Amino acid sequence: MKVISSRPSGTAAQDPGAWASFEIFPWSREFETGIALIDEQHRTLLGLLNALARNLAGHSDGPPASEVLRELTAYATYHFDTEESLMRQYLAGDSIESSHREAHRAFFTDIAGFKAQAAAYPGGRGIEEIVAYLTRWLVQHIMDVDRRTALVILALQAGDPLERAKEAAGEETPGSVRVLMQAVLRVYEEMSSRTFQLMKEIADRERAEARLRLAGVAFDNTLEAIFVTDALGQVIDVNTAYCDIRGLARGEIIGRDMRDMQPWLQDVTLLPVIWNAAALYGHWSGQVQSRSAADEPVLEWLTLSAVKDAVGEVINYVGVFSNITQLIDRQNKLERMAHHDALTGLPNRRFLLERLAQAVAQARRSNTYLAVCFLDLDGFKAVNDELGHAAGDQLLQAVAERFRATLRRNDTVARLGGDEFAILLGELDRPEECIALLERILAEVHRPVALAAGTVSVTASIGVTIFPEDDEEPAGLLDHADLAMYLAKNEGKSRYRMFDEQCERRFNAHRARIAAGVVAPE
């Protein structure tokens, strides 16, 4: 048997904190047997029992109750070994020795049963019953069995014969000691029960106070603006962030009606909607546009929650404001990056297809025409090769600006990649209305462009398909315009070419000649 300690160790029996040395089950001189080693071990057992009770009551930062119980059980084993060693020395073969061993075995059987019950029904109930059992067992065992055994051993050590020693011990026990034992046990049970419940209540209150302190710290230090009102909407508390954002001192806010304090809210008609929804459904959340203390426009996300009592009546409202201006700006930038070309700032292919789908739907509703144009620069590769990619980028940016200046407000131009662009010309009463605009685009592209590396001049080849004459889906319209563009380039460049019934066939024939090596690819 491993000796843990003859005194309460620095583990479970000595938890730090204000309650570390508080004894629910204090040591009494009436427990003393007269054998110093046994009394010292009894003190340790009682110390471990106190540690277990403190843990269960919630006043221990040490090991969990199950670990304390394991230590207590292990120390009981060590203590029983000590007692049985003494009895083998002085009472070998006597009924006192055998009854002691049986009592020790019964102890471990009972503890094992309680442990199984605690495992089957978690939540402290099983451990609490173990504490009650240990209290009764230790008091009865120490004050009755161990005390009588100690009296016999002390008499034997003084030279008395065994029978006389047993007789003397038996005469003393039924009298004052037994009465005292019963009295002490009743006092212990009553005192320990009351003390234990009191400690649990104190521990619960301390945890509640700790949660309140933590909530207070979070309330005062969060970056979100928070206000709390009563059921009528009068402010009863605000945090520092709210005061800072609104530019008001706390004393200027407390006691005022929150619904009258929102001159910063641009849409004041939204206030009753927000308040009524929170009262009816328990909460309201959404984006509101307001103004900061510096009178700057800001976007905020407001969550207003109703706090209700046990019968469902609103007793408080809690509002939380989060400034989402930067978040919205960042989201808009990300959306722009996802839908626009980084070099020219023009819409990209994804944006174009979305806009093309809208334009097709609009043309169907209004019985108008839509021209889908696919444009490719002629001679762009030579600019890149001779002047460098920086010059090519400058050329693309200049052409994009000319597109913006030339096209109508309801038209769309997009960069598809490289030197390829797409143009949507909408709201055409007749297909031929797009011709003048196409010729103007060709002329604008052909005008010389002054670059850092020199002045250059390029042309454009444009393929055009007309909806609903070409009644295709958006992607199909773009493909047909692409086919027409290749034919325009093959027919001499710097021109536009309409998609017609022969266009795809002619393109396929041209592609076959390229494959056969008759014509070099562009």
Query: What is the DSSP code string of 165-197?
Result: HHHHHHHHIIIIIHHHHHHHHHHHHHHHHHHHH
What number does CATH give the domain 340-516? 3.30.70.270
Better-predicted residue by pLDDT, 9 or 239: 239
Given a cut of 80, whether residue 28 has pLDDT beyond it is no
Q: In this structure, what token pair is assigned to residue 371?
A: 């021209």
Residue type, 431: P
Q: Which residue has the higher pLDDT, 327 or 323?
A: 323
Residues 391-406 have a mean pLDDT of: 95
315 HSE (CA, 13 A, CB side): 6
Supply the pLDDT for residue 429.
Answer: 92
Judge whether residue 194 has pLDDT over 70.
no
Rounded alpha-carbon distances, angstroms, from residue 86 to 137, 165, 460: 21, 15, 112
**Residue 363's pLDDT band (boundaries 50, 70, 90)?**
very high
Contact of 444 with 457, CB cutoff 8 Å: no
Residue 481 half-sphere exposure, CB side, CA atoms within 13 Å? 29
Region 196-208: what's the mean pLDDT? 67
- Determine what percent of the chain is predicted with pLDDT higher than 70: 79
C-beta separation of 34 from 158 below 8 A = no
Fold of 225-328: Beta-Lactamase (3.30.450)
Q: Indicate whether 100 pLDDT > 90.
A: no
Least-confidence region, from 5-14, 22-31, 193-202: 5-14
Model pTM above 0.85: no
pLDDT at 322 over 50: yes
Q: What is the pLDDT of residue 391?
A: 94
The per-residue pLDDT for 71 is 83
Say if residues 185 and 140 touch (Cβ distance below 8 Å). yes
> What is the per-residue pLDDT across 141-179, written as a single tens digit (0 to 9) for each?
777 788 888 888 888 888 888 888 888 777 554 455 556
Angle between helix 125-140 and helix 95-120 axes, rounded to 10 deg: 170
Segment 368-396 mean pLDDT: 94
Looking at domain 29-216, its CATH superfamily turns out to be Hemerythrin-like (1.20.120.50)
- Cα separations (Å) of 55 from 58, 103, 138, 189, 198? 5, 27, 19, 18, 14
Mean pLDDT along residues 93-107: 87
For position 4, what pLDDT does the model report? 30
pLDDT at residue 384 tops 60: yes
Mean pLDDT of 247-254: 87
Q: Mean pLDDT for the chain?
A: 81
**In the predicted structure, residue 182 carries a pLDDT above the cut 90:** no
Average pLDDT in the 259-271 region? 67
Looking at residue 11, its pLDDT comes to 38
67-76, 114-123, 252-261, 356-365, range with the lowest pLDDT: 114-123
Q: Span 181-210, mean pLDDT?
A: 63
CA angle 182-186-189, nearest 5°?
A: 135
- Angle at CA of residue 136, ends 133 and 140, nearest 5°: 140
Candidate ranges 14-28, 295-309, 453-467; pick with highest mean pLDDT: 453-467
| Mean pLDDT confidence for 340-359 | 92
Structural tokens at position 100: 């002691």
Same fold for the domain at 225-328 and the one at 340-516?
no
Query: Is residue 462 pLDDT above 90, yes or no?
Result: yes
Q: Residue 122: what are its φ and ψ, rounded to 5°?
A: -70, 165
- Say if residue 13's pLDDT is above 50: no
In 3D, which of 317, 456, 327, 479 has the Cα closest to residue 399? Answer: 456
Residue 60 has pLDDT above 60, yes or no: no
Q: What are the domain boundaries of the chain? A: 29-216, 225-328, 340-516
**Segment of 100-114, 299-313, 358-372 carrying the highest mean pLDDT:** 358-372
Give the pLDDT of residue 404: 93
Average pLDDT over residues 334-363: 89
Look at residue 58 and tell me whether its pLDDT is greater than 70: no
CA distance 53 to 128: 8
CA atoms within 13 A on the CB side of 177: 23
pLDDT band at 399 (very low <50, low <70, confident <90, very high): very high
